[in-house]
C-alpha cells in the first residue's frame, strides 16, 4: 500500500483507473496475458486498484497474479501517477464468468451460411 493520505471521490477513482490503461496494459501484454479490466473501488475507507487478467492458454493461477502484481507495482512506482493510497489486487474474471476469446464462441453452419455468436 502506498502511504499517501487523501480523501478521494468515486469520480476521481474512475478517472485514475482510465488513465492507467496505457501504463498497465503493455506490462500485461508483454508478459503474455490479456488485460480485461482496471478499476478503482473504495471499500471500508480503503482504495483498491483491481486488475483483471486472462491468459490465452490456461486459467489464471495465483502465481500468474503474483507475477503481474509485481511487474505492475514496479511500473506504477516508477511512474508515480497515483496521488493517494491504494492496495493493488490482480485477479481473474473467475470460473463462472471466465471471459473467452470470441473465436471459442463462434459456430459456423456452412450449409446455411450462418454464423452464430454467443
pLDDT at 38: 92
Q: Is residue 20 part of a domain?
A: yes
Using the predicted structure, report yes or no on whether residue 116 has a pLDDT greater than 70: no
Question: What CATH number is given to the structural domain containing 108?
Answer: 3.30.300.70
Using the predicted structure, report yes or no on whether residue 1 has a pLDDT greater than 70: no
Separation between Cα atoms, residue 40 and residue 23, nearest integer Å = 15
pLDDT at 37: 92
Is the CB of residue 33 less than 8 Å from the CB of residue 54?
A: yes
Dump pLDDT digits (tens) for 3-26.
444 577 878 888 888 889 999 999
Q: Is residue 26 part of a domain?
A: yes
- The mean pLDDT of 63-68, rounded to a whole number, is 96
| 47: β partners | 42
Q: Is residue 5 part of a domain?
A: no
Separation between Cα atoms, residue 49 and residue 40, nearest integer Å = 5
Confidence of residue 114 (pLDDT cuts 50, 70, 90): low
Q: How many domains does the chain have?
A: 1
Q: Is residue 4 part of a domain?
A: no
Instruction: State phi, psi for 95 to the nearest 5 degrees.
Output: -75, -30
Using the predicted structure, report yes or no on whether residue 46 has a pLDDT greater than 80: yes
Is the CB of residue 69 less than 8 Å from the CB of residue 90?
A: yes
Is the CB of residue 2 less than 8 Å from the CB of residue 83?
A: no
DSSP string for 95-117: STT----GGGGEEEETTTTEEEE
pLDDT at 13: 83
Dump pLDDT digits (tens) for 79-106.
867 888 899 999 998 765 544 444 444 4
Is the CB of residue 8 less than 8 Å from the CB of residue 47?
A: yes
The mean of the pLDDT values for the chain is: 80
Amino acid at each position: 500500500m502506498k502511504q499517501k493520505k487523501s480523501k478521494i471521490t468515486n469520480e476521481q477513482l474512475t478517472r485514475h483507473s482510465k488513465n492507467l490503461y496505457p501504463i498497465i496494459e503493455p506490462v500485461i501484454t508483454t508478459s503474455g496475458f490479456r488485460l480485461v479490466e482496471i478499476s478503482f473501488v473504495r471499500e471500508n475507507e480503503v482504495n483498491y486498484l483491481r486488475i483483471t487478467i486472462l491468459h490465452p492458454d490456461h486459467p489464471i493461477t495465483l502465481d500468474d497474479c503474483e507475477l503481474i502484481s509485481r511487474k505492475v507495482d514496479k511500473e506504477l512506482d516508477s511512474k508515480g501517477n497515483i496521488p493517494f493510497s491504494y492496495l493493488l489486487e490482480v485477479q481473474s474474471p473467475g470460473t463462472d464468468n471466465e471471459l473467452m476469446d470470441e473465436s471459442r464462441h463462434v459456430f459456423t453452419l456452412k450449409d446455411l451460411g450462418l454464423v452464430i455468436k454467443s
